Amino acid sequence: MTDKSAQDRVLIFDTTLRDGEQSPGATMTHSEKLEIAELLDDMGVDIIEAGFPIASEGDFRAVKEIAERSREAVICGLARANFADIDRCWEAVKHSARPRIHTFIGTSPLHRAIPNLTQDEMADRIHQTVSHARNLCDNVQWSPMDATRTEHDYLCRVIEIAIKAGATTINIPDTVGYTAPRESAALIRMLKERVPGADTVIFATHCHNDLGMATANALAAVEAGARQIECTINGLGERAGNTALEEVVMALKVRNDIMPYRTRVDTTKIMNISRRVATVSGFPVQFNKAIVGKNAFAHESGIHQDGMLKNAETFEIMRPEDIGLTASNLVMGKHSGRAALRDKLRQLGHEVGDNQLKDIFVRFKELADRKKEVYDEDIVALVSATADAGNDRLQIVSLKVICGTGGPAEATIEMEVDGKEMIATEHGDGPVDATFKAVRALHPNKARLQLYQVNAVTEGTDAQATVSVRLEEDGMIATGQSADTDTVVASARAYVNALNRLLVRRDKAGPGADRREINYKDVS
């Protein structure tokens, strides 16, 4: 049997807070970013890319505070290839015990055309900016954006320049999810063989999932010599997303026989952070998602069920408890006390303070009065609801809906809008339409509904419904999520949650700012 301690380490670089948050609608609040960073650090992620400090004052503050709070993980910030970005990045990450500057520039023909640089001009800029970053920080990562579509000769040339300028990690991004596993591995091998100084740096792989091959491409790169994987929780990210952290980590753990590499990630903490990222991002995990999906350990086929009863290993290649799904004999209901609820929360990976436990317990009792049995998923939803409750400008006080077959639905909603209680009644094609109209009457807005999605948290007619709402206004996108046994109530809360996130995003962007992302331009 292979000695795992002697195996090569693969560093896990998590970019949920940077690349993941760039997914349209996935903006997180300041407190949510701090919470996710703490969870990532606690689970053993090696490097946390905390944000893009020059993008906004909010991003800068978040990266700076994460850097100050970090315990074990390297804290990294992103910077374009100019001095202003790099200086701002350093100001944010320098407070970490282990800071890193990550600077990049697009090297493919398509991306070279954006700043209108010749190959020589870009090479010179790479030398200047990487040297500048290394003068500030001894841990510098450099990325040739769209590397998989860059000419091999030029890619080798600029990587050699970056290494000589002081880069300690060379990241090879498949920015648009274009490559395939064989090609991904061949590219890493080629660079390690051809680039002078390649043996002095760590090669990293950053894959997108546009063709559904991000995990396979990342693992192929590791087999070829890459020793850092860039990934996100739940595969969150732009377009089809990034390599999913839980997939690569569990693949290396389960198939260690053919991929003899180790990470320091505590896999038993995967499920907790997956649920939390899904909640704060507003992006629910698809039911059949590998590792963390609701159906990942579910078996309905008669043959599968029979095999599972006789020997779980017949149809399960990993145990639920490996990712933090532990079996429990505690059945929660309306007679359950506070101590039992606290114990259940611990089993589910949540350590809460007395004040938050008090809030959760009140909501738990209200839910238990409406449901015969409260499932783990219900309790996770309660934790998310209490964690998200705070200083929102829009808050629902009460909602009353009249609907049926006899005519249009009617919704009467009472809300606090910037601390002032207001009430409105509106009619609509159905209860949800009427409710949303009533909210708009109290908080006029031009937000366009891009997504309205309802999923049951558990089984049964008394199940809580999880509602996701995605809104777009003036180029800004925000997603809200909520759960309740009443689907209309959950819809109203999710809608208001999305509106609150739009307000936060508007304040964060400021007047006249680019609502989606800062422009690619030379600001040095």
Query: Which residues are CB-contacts of 274 (< 8 A; sequence separation ≥ 6)?
Result: 233, 234, 246, 285, 292
What's the one-letter identity of residue 354? D
Q: Rounded distance, CA 248 to CA 332, Å?
A: 34
Residue numbers belonging to the annotated binding site for Mn(2+): 19, 206, 208, 242
Which 3-state string (H, E, C) describes 191-217? HHHHCCCHHHCEEEEEEECCCCCHHHH
Query: Which residues are CB-contacts of 346 (< 8 A; sequence separation ≥ 6)?
Result: none
Q: Rounded distance, CA 433 to CA 411, Å?
A: 9
Q: Is 11 helix (H, G, I), strand (E, B) or coil?
A: strand
- Cross-strand pairs, 498: none
Is residue 57 within 8 Å of residue 81, measured between CB atoms? no
Classify the C-alpha dihedral 516-517-520-523 as positive or negative.
positive
Element (H, E) at 230: strand 228-231
Q: Is 395 helix (H, G, I), strand (E, B) or coil?
A: strand
Task: Count CA atoms closer than 13 A to 146's CA, side-chain side.
Answer: 15
- Cross-strand pairs, 41: none
Q: Rounded distance, CA 85 to CA 472, Å?
A: 28
> Tokens standing for 75?
């804290």
Q: Rounded distance, CA 58 to CA 124, Å?
A: 32
Q: Is 5 helix (H, G, I), strand (E, B) or coil?
A: helix
Q: Rounded distance, CA 120 to CA 110, Å?
A: 16
Residue numbers belonging to the annotated binding site: 19, 206, 208, 242
Q: Rounded distance, CA 462 to CA 359, Å?
A: 22
